[in-house]
Amino acid sequence: MGAWGFGPFDNDEAGDWLSYFDDQGLGAVRWAIEAVSDQDYLEVTEGSMAIAAAAMLAALCDGNEDGIPREKPRELQRIKQEEKSYEILKQPAVQALDRVLAPDSEIVELWSETDKFSEWKQSVLDIQRRLT
């Protein structure tokens, strides 16, 4: 896992997902959230992308763009104006974050081996709270 911080966009996988977001917008959010639901063992790539997607969705829903990459607020505003269906993704995103935080999640295993596990977990829980 290439991570330089515990924020939702502080890893290589989230960077890859942002490229997909640039092309697909809300479709990228939906895809990343749905991708974690059918995994017996959740790989770090899918977990990281789901966290990034949930953070972007939270920013769409509550307007708090703290931690969102600087170039993305314009895309968020476009989605808000053109797509009204993003609100229906809130509950699936909360469930996806539950899956990310489950014991059979590689990202949990990797973060639990660091001294930043509690900060990382709290950042995920904060995103989840913003969606409820």
DSSP 31-71: HHHHHTTT-SSB-HHHHHHHHHHHHHHHHHHH---TTS-TT
Q: Is 55 a domain residue?
A: yes
Domain span at residue 79 reads: 12-131
CB 130 within 8 A of CB 58: yes
* Domain presence at residue 46: yes
Rounded mean pLDDT, 85-97: 94
Asked if the structure places residue 2 within a domain, the reply is: no
Q: Is residue 1 in a domain?
A: no
At residue 1, the pLDDT reads: 53
Provide the 10 A C-beta neighbour count for residue 75. 18
pLDDT at 2: 76
Residue 53 belongs to some domain of the structure:
yes
Mean pLDDT estimate for the chain: 92
- pLDDT tens for each residue of 6-62: 899 999 999 999 999 988 999 999 999 999 987 789 999 999 999 999 999 999 999
pLDDT of residue 10: 92
Token pair of 7 as six digits: 């924020």
Query: What tokens were used for 73?
Result: 């607020």
Structural domain includes residue 33: yes
The structure tokens listed for 81 are: 């104006």
Is residue 110 one of the residues assigned to a domain?
Answer: yes
- Residue 36 in any domain: the answer is yes
Provide the number of structural domains found in the chain.
Answer: 1
